[in-house]
Each structure stands twice: as structure tokens, then as C-alpha cells.
Structure 1
Amino acid sequence: MIKNSIKNLICGIFLFSSASSFAQTEISEKRVSELTNLEISKGISLHIISPEPIQFVDLSTNNLTGDLPAENIARIKITEVSESDSIAAKQNIDLNDLGVITIVCQSFMVQYKVNYLNFKRDAVTNIQIQPEDMQPLEYPKLAFSNTELQKFSLDILRKKMVNKPIREVKSLKQTMQINNVYVVNDYIFLDMTFLNSTNLGYDIDAIKFSVEDKKIYKATNNQSIALNPVYQLYNQKQFKKNYRNIYVFKKFTYPNSKVMKIRLLEEQLSGRAIEMTVKYSDILNADTF
């Protein structure tokens, strides 16, 4: 019962978290007999690796249980039955047909029919989701998957660097630059470079983005709204001399009375922090590609 409760809880969480995030258009009808077959042995976990973050997993029977050890990996195994459980519960597992696994990602879904494999030595422990098994999904508003955002970000890195950055600030031999701003549909891409002119490496605590009042008359009246990137190309935490990254935001606007603030903060109490102010005109003049 505990195992089944955990399984139902996991599936419920997956369903709740994804219910408001995706909507599917017409998906070609598929029968169970047409699904790709997977084989699982008792005591062996099968890891299904997705090219995109997984939004939702459904296990059609109590024969299977699973979790998400990483955002793009679903771990599935045969439900274990303890010796204290009834004989009827043990016999409930149909070894020839363990059920169907449905995995929904950002831009596609995939389904597998699971069969029992008696020989552990022949068991497969991980598989990659293949394009031929994917059924495309469409969102209510045009949204890019992390894979697509990664492609756009890499395309930006391949572009020739401009001679002069759009914005640049220097402090304590640290430099922060906005090389360029790009817009693709409802996404804003900030191409940024951080330079360290010292021989002491820089340990990044955080890079914070916010929209704040341009003029602050009283500290208590300052309104700061955090802006969180929906994607960033690299998650590097330390750099020696230079660090370039792409930060992606869903479309945002702010009035002339406010500015965008970008802060680079170091982990240690070294005081090496640097802050940049970005005008809205810099966003409005963004390039397209």
C-alpha cells in the first residue's frame, strides 16, 4: 500500500504541475499494439532520458512505479511486493503486460508498452527517447522548449562580437557588459560578458535581474520586482578572466520611471559586486535573428 501511495502521489504531482502548462493539438491516434515495446526486469531500474525537461509522467498500472531523479530523466521499475503482502497482491502483477508509460515533455509526448524480461543480464538500464516515438504538442501561446532556446543561444554565441557593447560598467577591476539584445517572438535574449582583471578568480554567488524605480526618494518607497530568466545557456559558478553567457526572459515591459538592474555578486565577503542599469530603450532597440 505504501508503494502504491507513493506512486499515486508522484503521478499526481506530475499531473498537477503540468495541467496548466501545456495543451495538445491533434495527435495521431495510436493503439497499444502500435507502441514501442520496452522490457524491464525485477530489481532493475530503467532510465528514460529525454532531450527536454519532463513535465508529466503517467504509469497506467500499479505494476510500475517511478520518479524523476533529474528534470530530463524518468526512472521506472517494477513495483516491489514485500513478503508481508498478500498472495493475491503478488499475483496481481501481469508479467506479460506491465502497462503503458506516458511521458509528456515541453514540445512532445511519447508512450511505451512495457513487458516483463525474465533475464536480468539482458535488461536495458537506460534508453534515449527517439524522434520516431515523439508525438508533437502545441502550446496555447507560441513557446519555445529549452532545446530550442539552447539552439538560439548558441546561434548568438556564433555571431561576430560587436566592437562596442551596448552597456558597460567597471568596478574593482571587474567589468560587466551587455554585448547585444535580441528578440525572438516573445523572448528577450541578453548576450552578456563578465571580465575579471585581477589574478584572483571570481566565485559567482548570483546574477540578479530586477526592475526598480529610477529615482528613490525614500528607501521604504523603492519597489523592486525580480526578473527570473526562463533559461540561461551556462550555469558556471566560477571564472578566471572572462565569462560570457546568454540569459533568456519572457517578454517584459517597464515605464520610463523604472530601470532594469543587473547585479553580479561574489560568494565570499570580498565586496566584489558590480551593478548595471539598463534603460528600456536598450530593450526596445533589440535585434532580431
Structure 2
Amino acid sequence: MKKRHHFLILFLLCFVGYSARSQQATETRLGTLPELSLHRGHTVHILSPEPIQYVDIASHHVSGDLPLENVLRIKLNEDTTQTEHLDYELGTITIVGDNFVAQYRLTVPLWISDTSIPAMLEIRPEHTRPLEISEIGLSRSQMKNLALGLLTKNVHRAVRSTRDYGVGIALNGISTIGDYIFLDVSFTNTSNLSYNVDELRFFIEDKKITKATNVQTVEIKPLWQYQPLTEFKKRHRNIFVLKKATFPGSKVLRVTLTEKQISGRTVNLKIKYGDILKADTF
């Protein structure tokens, strides 16, 4: 019995020691980070392969902004009373994208030649650590790449289409990946008036609606779309990403396009559940 207890105690000690070493191995220390040198009067642009979701700058001597979703601009503050006696080390800058986190060590060299002053830094894969967040699923950059692949395909025959008041909606195709549905939709306008879009909405509703029954309508918000839909004169093609949803054959997915005018033109396209079941897969 004593031998068994000694074995259990030894096992627990070994496990604790292994856990401590594992945690220590996952730490990132300042000295191991790639260095990014800043210089008074110069701006550094950091180019990210994905849209930047979060930035943390450890030093209040450094300011930054996002002129574009995948470009971070940083520089030393212009207040010379703060920057003339700076320490060499300014801490870290942390940049988080859809699927990665990157950190750099900010420094202010006492002397640096003009030819060595960095102007642009591209985030390299070896400087990043992947993020595994199941709630995010597909990132926006991944959705964009998949959408571009769909838009390069020629449309031979629409899955569903409708037209009213000279305005048409055509479902070119449906593709799925994981829990996501990609709808390839085209909008056409044969009238001489530009169509100013008020709303484009998606609903799950009963296929047949009678006055005697209670209508159950559930709106589905798109998770992402390839480009804004505000106005089109003749043609517009777009990709909309929805969270995968199941509904019985007695219901349909309705796409409703409304115009901004007082007597605005409204067009409805109904997609059957069978169409979604026949969707292509990436």
C-alpha cells in the first residue's frame, strides 16, 4: 500500500513539473522578439496579411492609428520634452489579426543612420503565432478569398430568379463550407432609373401564407458580404455569407430588396430548402 502511495506522489510531482515546464516553454520573452526601431520625425507603416482587429502599444511615447484595415501606422510622439530622454527600450507592440498574433520589441537607438531607419514592416509568418478561436470560424480574409473564387466563375444558369418593376434578382449559385453558406447573387436594372438600395434582408418564412394562419418569419443577418450594396445602374454582383440554418420544406429563404424612394420598388426572391441541400462545397 505504501509503495502505491509513493508511486502516486511521484507521478503527481512529475506531472506538476511537466506542466510548469510546458507553461514556461509557451512564454514569450522581450529579448526573443523581433526588434522594431523608431526614430524621431519618421513614421513606420506595418503591413498585415489580414485585417487588424486589435493593437496594444506598451509605451505612451508611441502613437498609432489604422489608416486601412490591414495597415498600422506608428511613430514617436512629436513632443520633444518626452522623447529627448527616452530609454532604449520602449516595451512591446502587439498586433492581432483574424487568425494570428504578432509582437515586436520597440526600441529607440541612441544613433542610427538615415539609410537604416525603417519605413515599412511586413508581418512575416515566422513572427506570428496562430489563434485558435472556434467562435470566429472563417476569418474575413478567408471569406474574401472564397468569394473571389466564386466571382471568377461564369454564370450559365441561375438557380432562382425573379423580376419586378424592371429590377431583377438572380441566385447564381450556393456554396457551403463548414457552418457557412455563400450566396452568389446578381442584381439587374432594365429601367432608366438608378436603383438606390435601402435594405437587403434575408428571412425564413412559410412557403404558403394564408390569412387564416399565423405567419412565422425569422430574419437572418448576413455575417459578411463582399462589397457594399448601395446603388446600381444596370448590374451588380455580390457574395453574401450566412450562418448555416436548417428549416423544413414548408418554409423558404426569402431575399428582399427595397428601394429608398417613397414609392420604392421592392423585389422578393424565394429560395427553396432543396436548393440549399444541392449546394456545392468548396
Task: Give the TM-score of the pair, scaled to structure 2.
Answer: 0.75
Q: Which amino acid aligns with 2:134?
A: P
SS in 2 for 1:148: helix
| Unpaired segments ≥5 residues, structure 2 | 1-24
Residue number in structure 2 paired with 1:51:
49
Is the contact made by 1:44 and 1:120 (CA closer than 8 Å) also made in structure 2? no
1:130 aligns with 2:128: no
Is the contact made by 1:63 and 1:99 (CA closer than 8 Å) also made in structure 2? no
Pick closer, same or farther for the CA change 1:195–1:147 going to 2, 3 Å: same
Provide the C-alpha distance between the structure 2 equivalents of 1:76 and 1:218, rounded to a whole number of angstroms: 62
Q: Which amino acid aligns with 1:56?
A: Y
| Corresponding residue pairs, total | 256
Provide the C-alpha distance between the structure 2 equivalents of 1:213 and 1:43, rounded to a whole number of angstroms: 64
SS in 2 for 1:195: strand
Residue number in structure 2 paired with 1:149:
143
Pick closer, same or farther for the CA change 1:264–1:33 going to 2, 3 Å: same
Spell out the pairing of 1:245-260 with structure 2 (5 A cutoff): 245-260=238-253
1:285 aligns with 2:282: no
- Alpha-carbon deviation of 1:227? 1.8
Provide the C-alpha distance between the structure 2 equivalents of 1:272 and 1:173, rounded to a whole number of angstroms: 9
What are the Cα deviations for residues 63-103 of structure 1, in whole angstroms up to 9, with x where unaligned? 444455554344444467798xxxxxx59974311111111
1:211 aligns with 2:209: no
- Alpha-carbon deviation of 1:224? 3.5
Is the contact made by 1:41 and 1:120 (CA closer than 8 Å) also made in structure 2? no
- Alpha-carbon deviation of 1:170? 0.6
- Alpha-carbon deviation of 1:236? 4.4
- Which of 167-176 and 208-217 deviates more? 208-217
What is the aligned counterpart of 2:161 among 165, 168, 172? 168
| Unpaired segments ≥5 residues, structure 1 | 1-26, 84-89
Residue number in structure 2 paired with 1:39:
37
Is the contact made by 2:38 and 2:76 (CA closer than 8 Å) also made in structure 1? yes
- Alpha-carbon deviation of 1:44? 5.4
Residue number in structure 1 paired with 2:103:
111
Provide the C-alpha distance between the structure 2 equivalents of 1:31 and 1:213, rounded to a whole number of angstroms: 58
What are the Cα deviations for residues 260-283 of structure 1, in whole angstroms up to 9, with x where unaligned? 221122233352221112222211
Residue number in structure 1 paired with 2:254:
261
1:192 aligns with 2:190: no
Q: Which amino acid aligns with 1:204?
A: V
Is the contact made by 1:207 and 1:264 (CA closer than 8 Å) also made in structure 2? yes
1:98 aligns with 2:90: yes
- Highest Rg: 1 or 2? 2
Is the contact made by 1:101 and 1:113 (CA closer than 8 Å) also made in structure 2? yes
SS in 1 for 2:248: coil
Is the contact made by 2:61 and 2:83 (CA closer than 8 Å) also made in structure 1? no
1:273 aligns with 2:266: yes
- Alpha-carbon deviation of 1:252? 1.6
Provide the C-alpha distance between the structure 2 equivalents of 1:36 and 1:155, rounded to a whole number of angstroms: 35
- Alpha-carbon deviation of 1:131? 3.2
Percent identity over paired residues: 39
Pick closer, same or farther for the CA change 1:194–1:81 going to 2, 3 Å: same
Provide the C-alpha distance between the structure 1 equivalents of 2:212 and 2:35, rounded to a whole number of angstroms: 63
SS in 1 for 2:149: helix
Report the aligned-residue RMSD. 3.4
What is the aligned counterpart of 2:194 among 179, 185, 201? 201
What are the Cα deviations for residues 133-188 of structure 1, in whole angstroms up to 9, with x where unaligned? 222222336822222211111111222323x2111111011110001111112211
Q: Which amino acid aligns with 2:52?
A: I
Pick closer, same or farther for the CA change 1:222–1:151 going to 2, 3 Å: same
Residue number in structure 1 paired with 2:226:
233
Is the contact made by 1:228 and 1:249 (CA closer than 8 Å) also made in structure 2? yes
Is the contact made by 1:61 and 1:98 (CA closer than 8 Å) also made in structure 2? yes
- Alpha-carbon deviation of 1:33? 2.9
SS in 2 for 1:243: strand
SS in 1 for 2:31: helix
Provide the C-alpha distance between the structure 2 equivalents of 1:140 and 1:73, rounded to a whole number of angstroms: 25
